[in-house]
Chain A
Amino acid sequence: MLELFIFLYQFADAFALLTLSAAGLMIIFGMMGVINMAHGELMMIGAFGAARGFQAGLPLPLAILAGGLAATLVGLILERLVVRHFYGRLLYSLVATWGLSLILSQGALIVLGPSTQGIESNFGNFLVGDLSFSIYRIVLFGIAVGVIAGLWALFRFTTFGLQARATMSNADMAKALGIDTARIYMLTFGLGAFLAGTAGALFSLAAPVQPSFGASYTPIAFVVVVVAGSRNIIVGLTLAVVMLALVKTAVTINLNILGGYVAMLVMALLVIRFSPNGVADWLQKARSLIKKPSTGR
């Protein structure tokens, strides 16, 4: 029973980590076909924003929001100045945003200094048997589920969501129908930056806030996006995160931390081998295979 709880707790922990790290990257990649290499640095800006906001006396939720907004602001500026010139050009965007990431992290080292004090996490802990667990990790899991649900609702029910989905499936046609696709792209990039910044702010409660902050999260965010693919943002993200978190948790508990990472990478490798466009693409194909006989009749 205790073992089952440990598994669920660590699965929830991995689920939150993967979802929050990857959501911003996923949105931008899924919508615009741009791999945002500066994703980790946007997280870092969110973390610094939250820590500095908290030090200045903001209550915790507002400090986290401040971090998210700081990253959004920086993200929008980057989008207008640089990124918008590279939409749909994967390799160009890769190099351009990588350059931005170097400038941002080194700029942060010069402007913000090598480190700042993080935020005190006073959420407390709870006991199961004689083992104690962190409440904040459960809170993070709740927020991660909320992010996925919120994104789904945003794309499903709002005008922005409708226009965004139209732009994603056929940008030229959407433009011809009068949708301001440049604006949609800008807003989507801003949303991605906001998610990255908020994730950074949330993680800053348990991490040293430093210019290299994002480097801890970028690799796993990339693995999630590779596994998810760009076919369907919400389904892809959820499926990829659940699969990776399951594998990581199972192997970490039974072997060790390194094994957990290796298992995630092996998983990503298998997905790329058998479904190069990600799990969402595979799911869609599988569904159409199942549907075909019924439509045939």
Chain B
Amino acid sequence: MDWNRRSIIKASGALALSASSLPLFGRMASASENPIKIGVIDDASGDFAAAVIPKTQGAQLAVDEINAAGGVLGRPLQLIAYDGQSDVRRHQEFAQRAILEDEVSVLMAGYTSSEREAARAVAVENKTIFWHNNQGEGGIADNYSFFTGPIPEQQILPGVEYMVKKYGKKIYVLAADYGFGQVSAQWVQASAGMNGAEIVGLEFIPLGNSEFSSSITNIQKAKPDFLFLLLVGSNQSQYFPQAMAAGLKIPAISSVNLQQGYEHKLFAPPTLENLYVPAPFLEELSDTNPNAKKFVTAIRGKYPDMPYVNECARCAYIAVNMMALAWAKAGTSETDATIAALQSGLSFDGPDGMVSLDPATHHTAMDMRMFQVQADHSIKVVADLGRVEPWWLKRLGVDLTAKAESRQYLPTDDPELAKYLK
């Protein structure tokens, strides 16, 4: 009994230690070999965990590969991971801890736009390089902020154009009710206008909502040709089985679902049949694309139990590699020199082909594809959307190499888009 109790106390002590051990080991290691520290705040628990855990794994794979090849500037890379807990406040707190206490050279944080902005504000304030590593609503022009994920002009615009041509002009939009969803919905509206299409219904769904029977009835009444889905988190992804159970068989496109939350692996087929996904990468790309094959084999070799190799894993992997290229080019991990290197036109041959970091906007050019979910939930590439540049901010005159900025542009700031918004 006494032995038992003691071992329990020991075990709980070990647990408490391991919870705080990452930064602790960070300091110990820095004394001996002076690693370059990369801080990542990813949601390892909470509503977004299933989608975001692969992000940390993608970053870790990149760190391990770079270290196995000798590190950068003779120094190893060290990943310091914090659990953002799907909570905006945790992102802010850990961003402060990563930058002020653990002194990371770069911070990669945030899944949702609200998490991203909480952490990014801390990074920008402390002049620390920041990366956001999944698709987003775009528009951010900031000297310290960089983005690996596709943005509306790369996903929504070509996506709507494709769907209107294929299915017709009536669109129904279901969007998560917060920053990302609202801005993205504006992009869908503008894209509809540019393609002569019409929004026959637009519903904003509260985050955490999992009941869609009223929306499903509304959609059926509106009789759209296709749906544009911007649903976020595992609660909102309950839309899919509910629509399936209600017999809703309208083709849909999403710039966020499946590529992050791999709903086609969580729900039994044919729940997601005929969902279209405009994206640079899905795990299934590895069936035909050698780059994707190499990446998927490597990450699955390291994490055999991964439920899916998603966009988050892809983006984090690219971001760490971009940073390594920048540090090598700058010859230092010092921030200003590294930013100059990041703005020198870097390219990385990543999981879905060559990805180029645009110096003017800090977003990336990538090869976009239109994926379609089949009845058995296998994935087919149905169209090659080509190489898409992040062109929108440049049209608004943003050039971060020439003029420092720190703001987010919205579709309403662009008269060409605003004229389609009510």
Contact = CB atoms under 8 A, between A and B. Distances in A.
Q: Does chain A bind chain B?
A: yes
Interface of A: 6, 9-10, 13-14, 17, 105-106, 109, 113-121, 123-125, 127, 130-137, 205-212, 215-216, 252-253, 256-258, 260-261
Contacts of B289: none
Nearest to A248: B211
A98 to B, nearest CB: 15
Contacts, number: 121
13 contacts: A117-B267, A121-B245, A125-B246, A132-B247, A137-B213, A210-B234, A212-B45, A212-B47, A252-B214, A253-B214, A258-B177, A258-B204, A260-B214
Ranked 3 nearest A-B pairs via Cβ: A125-B247, A120-B268, A132-B247
Contact of A258 (B53, B206, B213, B220): B206
A208 B220 CA distance: 24
Contact of B50 (A17, A114, A134): A114
A274 to B, nearest CB: 27
A260 B50 CA distance: 28
Contacts of A135: 245
Contacts of A256: 203-204
Contacts of B210: 207, 216
B154 to A, nearest CB: 27
Contact of B241 (A105, A118, A210, A211): A118
A210 B265 CA distance: 13
B286 interface: no
Residue among A109, A137, A208 with the highest chain B CB neighbour number at 10 A: A208
Most A CB contacts (10 A, CB to CB) among B241, B244, B265, B267 go to B241
Given A113-B307, A114-B53, A207 B241 contact: yes
Interface of B: 44-47, 49-50, 53, 86, 177, 203-206, 208-211, 213-215, 217, 220-221, 234-235, 237-238, 241-242, 244-248, 261, 263, 265-269, 305, 307
A127 B249 CA distance: 13
Contacts of A127: 247
Given A118-B267, A206-B238, A131 B206 contact: no
A120 B267 CA distance: 7
Given A132-B220, A257-B209, A258-B177, A212 B46 contact: yes
Contacts of B211: 13-14, 17, 257
A119 B268 CA distance: 7
Contact of B245 (A17, A109, A125, A252): A125
A248 B271 CA distance: 27
A134 B214 contact: no
B238 A207 contact: yes
A206 B242 contact: yes
B268 A257 contact: no
Contacts of B238: 206-208, 216
A131 B220 contact: yes
B247 A134 contact: yes
A10 B214 contact: yes
Contacts of B49: 109, 114, 210-212
Nearest to B244: A121
Contacts of A9: 213, 217
B265 A117 contact: yes
Contacts of B221: 131
Contacts of A17: 211
A179 to B, nearest CB: 33
A291 B49 CA distance: 56
Nearest to B305: A113
Contacts of B53: 114
A133 B243 CA distance: 9
Nearest to B249: A132
Nearest to A14: B211
A280 to B, nearest CB: 26
B234 A257 contact: no
B307 A137 contact: no
B137 to A, nearest CB: 20
A124 B244 CA distance: 9
Contacts of B246: 125, 132-134, 137
Given A6-B217, A134-B213, A207-B238, 11 more contacts: A10-B214, A106-B45, A117-B267, A120-B269, A121-B241, A121-B244, A132-B248, A208-B263, A211-B49, A257-B215, A258-B177
Contacts of B208: 215-216
Nearest to B54: A114
A224 to B, nearest CB: 14
Contacts of A125: 245-247
Contacts of B265: 115, 117
A206 B267 CA distance: 9
B268 A118 contact: yes
Contacts of B242: 134, 206
A117 B240 CA distance: 13
Contacts of B50: 114-115, 208, 210
Contacts of B263: 208
A210 B208 CA distance: 14
A102 B109 CA distance: 24
A44 B332 CA distance: 49
Nearest to B212: A257
Contacts of B86: 212
A216 B235 CA distance: 7
A183 B304 CA distance: 46
B106 to A, nearest CB: 26
Contacts of A113: 305, 307
A205 B211 CA distance: 13
Contacts of B261: 208
A288 to B, nearest CB: 37
A208 B267 contact: yes
